[in-house]
Structure formats: C-alpha cells, structure tokens
Structure 1
Amino acid sequence: MTATTPAVPTDRQDERLRSSSGFRGSIVSAVERVRSGDLGLLPVILGLAVIWTIFQILNPFFLSSANLSNLLMQSAPIGILALGIVCVLLVGEIDLSVGSVSGLAAAIMAVNFVGNGWPIALALLVAVLAAVVIGFVYGQIYTRLGVPSFVITLAGLLGFLGLQLFVLGPTGTVNLPFDSFLVYFGQLAFVPAPVGYALAVVAGASLFLTWFSRARARRKAGLSAQSTGSILLAAIALTAALALVVLYLYQARGIGWMFVFFVALVLIMNYALTRTSWGRAVYAVGGNREAARRSGINVRATYISVFVLCSTFAAVGGLLAAGRLAAAGQQSGGGDINLNAIAAAVIGGTSLFGGRGSAFAALLGILVIQSISSGLTLLNLDSSIRFMVTGAVVLIAVALDAIARRSRSSHGRA
C-alpha cells in the first residue's frame, strides 16, 4: 500500500478544528480568539470609529479632508515616541523619560544648527546619537545593577529636563529658520497625489506578496492556509480603501511626508517584531524572562536593545516636533507629551504586563489620542476636558487588557 496525503491539513486533523478552514472557518477562528480573550486591535479600531462618529455628529468639520490632513501630521511626532514605548512595554518595562529625551534632542539640534552653525544633517545626527547613548546607559543600569526601569527613567525625566534647560541657556528658545529642511519637512512637505496613489498600490501589492508567501510556506508544511483568491481580494480591498483615502485627503493638502515617515517606521518595526529572531526574543522576554533565558535568548542584550530603541525614537519624535513648531525651547518635550506617548501605546493594545502588543498599537493609539484632542478643540472645550477624557480612555484600555488576560488564563485552564 502507498501512503496518501491526508485530505485535511495537519493542523486541522482534529475533529474540533475541521470547521476552521476556508472563509467561514476564518470567521469561526476569529470569534474563538475573541472568546478566549485575544482581542487584538479590535477594541481600539471600534473605539476609533465611535470617537469619529460622535465628533462628526457634534461638528461636521471633524471628518473634513482639511482637519484629517492636519490630524495626521500632528500625530506623527508623538506617535514615534509611542512606537518606542511599545518596544519597552513588550518586555514588561516602562520609560517615563521619553518626553525629556525628545526635548533634549531638539535642544541639542537647535543649538548646534542655529547657534554653532553646524550643517543640519550633522546636528540631527548628534542629537540622535545622544539619545542612543542615553538608552544604552539605561539598559546597562537596568541589567547590571537591577534598578527598576521606573526609577531609572523617572530620574532621567528630571535629569534630562535639567540638561535640556542647560543646553538651551538663558535664551530659553531657539527659533529654526523657516527655509531649513526640518521645518519644511514638518510643515510643508506633502506627498504629490500621484505618489499617494502609487503608495496605495504598493501597500496592496506588499500585502498580497506577504500573505501569499506565508500561505505557500504553510502549504508546503502541510498546514492550512488562505486561498490565493481570498488573499488577492484582501489586497484589492486594501488598495481601493487607501486610494479612496488619498482621493478624499487631496481635496485639501493631502498626506504629509512626516506621517508617511511615521507609518514607514511602524511597518519596519512590525517586520522586526514579527519576522526576526530579535522580535521573537522581545516577546519571549516579555512573556517569561526566565523561560527565555533558559531557551538560550540573550536577555540582557534584548533589554538594552529596547531601551536604546525607545530613546532613539524619542529623539526622532522630538526633532520632528521641533521642525513642526520651527523652534526648540524649554517647553519642548514637556506638557502632556510624555503621558500621551505612553497612553497611545496602551490604548493601541500594548499590554502593560509585557509579551503582548504590536507596532500598529502606536499608530492606532495616537490616532485615538489626537482625534480626541482635535475633536474637543473644534468644540471649543477646555483642555481640562481633554485630560479627563484621555484618562478615561486609558483606564478603559488597561481594564480591557486585564479582562483579556484573565479570560485567556481561565480559557487555558479549561
């Protein structure tokens, strides 16, 4: 007798799993994941839809192309800070100093560029390198001395704020030339419409190629996989949706290159977290540090890398914020910037307990934060209302995370 290939894929040969194949099976699997507590990005997407609907009803200008275009531009600097926070939260730690580091980077850049006459590229590079050193020092203190990250970064929040004031000197504020590249990039650089449509096509093609290669690899391993038709349909739907967004936004100024840069960083980090050994190490350390160590993962290097990334992203976000304001001053990185970056990461679905979250949490989370800010501004409400609403949203996000963890734990025991 000759062996025959089983009609049911290897991962579906259990009777309980056979219904989870095809389009209907995908829906069943998604429902089962939600029931088991794996909510993913669903809560923040639904929350964003609710927020947009409410503000549009209260003020029809909210979803106008002009307001949305401005909303996206304003989301980029703090969103990049939130991207760094996501990396740290994934290993179960926190960085409270991203606001101070971003302000310090802006001060270093402005003083060297305007005050010392350095080329803008060199001033930017030195500012980012300073943040890299800060993150490396954080990692060394945490891994070698065992000082909690909360304490380390709280000290950094205060210390680097003082250093920022020292760098700025008695003037307190350094204005950037409006003809400089950084100011142009932060205020006036918008993607031409044809390029916007081309990016939509590239996004759809990238989705198709990524999912198709993954499905082919699963079939070779004898596992279930999406059909080529469903993958093509998803790619076409994404391309069409993005093309409609581009069409709508270009009724006003369109899409800023700064927001495109932010999205590119999110995609790069998503690839690094999901498709590389470093990303697997980050999730492993965040899930169970001791198990990760025993499996051969360099836990110390993983911690250092996420602290360095967080500080680096803080510097990049601070530089973009300075370009958008055309100045670096004592208020750079201050106010609610630090808390908004952390709130965006948490609202976007990154767990405070480590091991769960994605780079897209920064993107979705900051859209929620910025949507609340923009909507309340349009309604001429006091900033105190914005703080209270944002706080309530953060509390809801953390509560959902806690409920999801408890649901997964009880589901696993069952």
Structure 2
Amino acid sequence: MKDHLLNYWARVRGGEMGSLPAVLGLVVLCTVFGIVRPVFFSPGNIANLFTQGAQVTIIAMGLVFVLLIGEIDLSAGFASGVCAAVLGVTLTNHGWPWYAACLAAIVTGTVIGLILGLLVAKMGIPSFVVTLAAFLAFQGVGLALLKEGTNISIRDEVIVGIGNRNMTPLLSWVLAVVVIVGFTAIELIRWMRRNRRGVTTDPISVVVARIVTVGAMITFLAWVLTLERAANPLFATVKGVPVIVPVIGVMLIVWTFVLRRTAYGRHIYAVGGNAEAARRAGINVDRIKISAFVICSGMAAVGGIVAAGHDSSVDSNTGGSNVLLYAVGAAVIGGTSLFGGRGRMIDAVLGGMVIAVIINGMALLNQNASTKYIITGTVLLLAAGVDALSRRRAVVTR
C-alpha cells in the first residue's frame, strides 16, 4: 500500500493528475456549501443537482471526443438548441411520435457534425473558425425554426419524464445494487487479468478500498434520493433516483468502452497525441476527426432533447446563454486536456457535477449572476492552468 501511494504521488508530481483536481474541488465545494447552507445536502436539492446539470454533462461528453483530437467545437450549445427546435416542431406542431421526433433531432445533430467535420478535416479550416461561424449561424437557424422566438410546449410524457420523472424507490435500490455489483466485478476481473499476465497492477487492498468507497457513495446517494422530497406528502409523493441518472450512466458506460476498449478509441488518442505520427501509422486521421465532430453534435442533440424535456418547452434560449461555456468548462475541469490526447469520459461527468454544484450553491447563497459567473470562470481558468502546468511537468520529467 505504501509503495502504491508513493508511486501515485510520483505520477501526480510528474503531471499525471487526471481527475484529481475535479474530485478535490467537488469535495471542497460541497463541504463549504453544506456548512454555510445545510439545505444543500437535503434530498430535494441533491436530486436537483442531477437534473440541473444533465444537459451540460451530456454535451460535455460529446465535447470530450473533439477535445481529445486537439480540436474545439464552439457551436455545440446552439447545435443542441437547433436539435431541440427540430424535436419541438416535429413533436408538437406536426404530431410525430416521441421516438420519431427524437430520431429527427439526433439525425439533425449528426448532419451538423458531419458538415463541421468535413470543413475541418477536408478543407483544412481551423475548427475554431468553423465552429465560431456555426455558433452564429445556428442562432439564426434556431430562430427560423421557432418562427423568430415562438415558445413550443413539450407535453409528451416520455420526453418530459426523461428530464423530470423519478424511478420508484424499489427500482432505485435495484439500480444501486446493480451498479455496485457491476463495478465490483469489473475491478476484480481487471485485477485478476493483469495479475495473471504479470502486468503491474494495484495492490488488492487498494482495489478493495476503491470498491468499498464507491459502494458506500452509491449506497448513500440511493438512500438520500429514496427519501421523501415532497413539500406536502399528503397530496403528492416525490421519491427515487431521477430518470436522467441511469440515462447518463448508460452513455458513460458506452462511451467509456468505446474510448478504452476499441481500436477506434485508441485512434482518437493517437490523433490527439500526434496527428502526423498517427497518419504515418496508417490511421485515417480525417475520418477520425469527422467522426469526433459527428459524435459531439449527436450528443449535443441528446442534450437538447433532455433540456426540452426538463423545461417542458423549447424556445430561442434552449442551448444558448452559457450552455456551451459550461459544457466546455465541465470537460476541462473534469480533467480533459485542451491540448488533445488526454482525457476520459468520466471527466465530463465530474466536471458537470462541479459546474452544477457551483450554480446550485451560488443560488442557495442568494448570490447574484455576476458572482456566479466570476467564480465559474475562475474555476475554469484554474482547471486550464492545472492542465497546462501538468503537461509542462510531464514533458520535463520525461
């Protein structure tokens, strides 16, 4: 155990910080807000953290792919707004079923990503310029779809339920048990495989400690979220894990598998690390870049659908305002490098939690918008500074 801790500290000093700053920041923020405003840890507020940060987290998950290849997408926020507008028009105005409207929104996002990727990869236009132009253009597209700002109500129970409904307490506990058992199995199988192959691995005590810690956290959250949250339980009861939690969890598992267990994921990291070296190794760099933008805009579409369901409406502000900045901030704060080649899908989730905690905590403290923006911007700047310093440290120690 001691040797493991020393090796871990050596890696941290060498620049391999990963998600450590985000985790520490999350602990500090929750502790401060919980002490100043104890209501922060109330069941209702904890549930709100998951639903309020869902759109930003989902868009950030898509942005991780683009950041990993060393590019940027400044249009992801308004792209999600355009896709949400497509959902609203087809669902409410034309009476499409929810699954057809969702498919139309996701296809729209895929086409958007394909166009952006082609302009960046095939025409060689910097992604900053392409997506900045798209950032401006999609505002106009969204207004056109909404007829210059018309609000479209979303009444479909499935779409609204994704953003607002809760699982039953029984299903919530079943979900918690499944996650704990699954995490335990993955950790133990990974340890046994690496140990059998003679590959350097964590001591079994560290693996067990990790399993116990994660299991305790999940059990605590399940317990809190299955408590009664309604102001007047006699008229209505509000219990259970928000539906959006397993939705994000499934996407996290899928994209983590893609990045860590497939050749495509290895190619993403290779292109982000050194595009020319990847090209010489036989990787189709252009195809990888195009696919990253497609995934990013596709996830933006999913984020737009979730936002439309949460708000039960679509308007010109959907996907606008600070959504893009928060999404990019979530990915970077979580540990994804702005320089490409380094990051994980869990970074988007951790960063999204940090953003949600800041926004929620500032609201509980009755702080005005200016203070909220200053603190969020400062946290993002610190995250970017840690990224730059850790990368420089890693280069020096090689």
Corresponding position of 1:387: 373
Displacement of 1:232 after TM fit? 4.8
Corresponding position of 1:94: 72
Q: Distance in 1 between matches of 2:67 and 2:271?
A: 11
Corresponding position of 1:260: 246
Q: Distance in 1 between matches of 2:17 and 2:393?
A: 10
Q: Distance in 2 between matches of 1:411 and 1:184?
A: 50
5 Å matches for 1:48-67? 48-67=26-45
AA at the equivalent of 2:94: N
Q: Distance in 1 between matches of 2:332 and 2:209?
A: 32
Q: Distance in 2 between matches of 1:366 and 1:173?
A: 27
**2:306 paired residue among 320, 326, 332:** 320
**1:342 paired residue among 321, 324, 328:** 328
Displacement of 1:171 after TM fit? 5.8
Q: Distance in 2 between matches of 1:370 and 1:256?
A: 15
Say whether residues 1:68 and 2:46 are aligned partners.
yes
Residues 170 and 356 (structure 1 numbering): CA distance in 2 closer, same or farther, change over 3 Å? closer
TM-score where L is the length of structure 2: 0.94
AA at the equivalent of 1:372: I
AA at the equivalent of 1:268: V
**2:131 paired residue among 153, 156, 164:** 153
Corresponding position of 1:8: none
Displacement of 1:292 after TM fit? 1.1
Q: Distance in 1 between matches of 2:153 and 2:194?
A: 55
**Gapped regions of structure 2 (runs ≥ 5):** 230-238
Corresponding position of 2:163: 186
Q: Distance in 2 between matches of 1:406 and 1:230?
A: 29
Q: Distance in 2 between matches of 1:122 and 1:115?
A: 13
2:161 touches 2:243 (CA, 8 Å); kept in 1? no
How many pairs were matched up?
Answer: 388
TM-score where L is the length of structure 1: 0.90
Q: Which runs of 4+ in 1 moved over 6 A?
A: none
**1:80 paired residue among 42, 49, 58:** 58
Query: Percent same amino acid among aligned pairs?
Result: 38
Displacement of 1:305 after TM fit? 1.1
Corresponding position of 2:390: 404
**1:204 paired residue among 163, 174, 180:** 180
Q: Distance in 2 between matches of 1:296 and 1:72?
A: 42
Compute the RMSD of aligned alpha carbons: 1.6
Q: 1:180-211 deviations in whole A, cap 9, x for unaligned? A: 31112212x21222222222222222223223
Q: Work out which of the two has the higher radius of gyration on C-alpha atoms and give 1 or 2.
A: 1
Displacement of 1:32 after TM fit? 1.3
**What SS does the aligned partner of 1:145 have?**
coil
**What SS does the aligned partner of 2:39 have?**
coil
1:113 touches 1:120 (CA, 8 Å); kept in 2? yes
Q: Distance in 2 between matches of 1:195 and 1:26?
A: 38
1:85 touches 1:345 (CA, 8 Å); kept in 2? yes
**Gapped regions of structure 1 (runs ≥ 5):** 1-22
Q: Distance in 2 between matches of 1:287 and 1:220?
A: 30
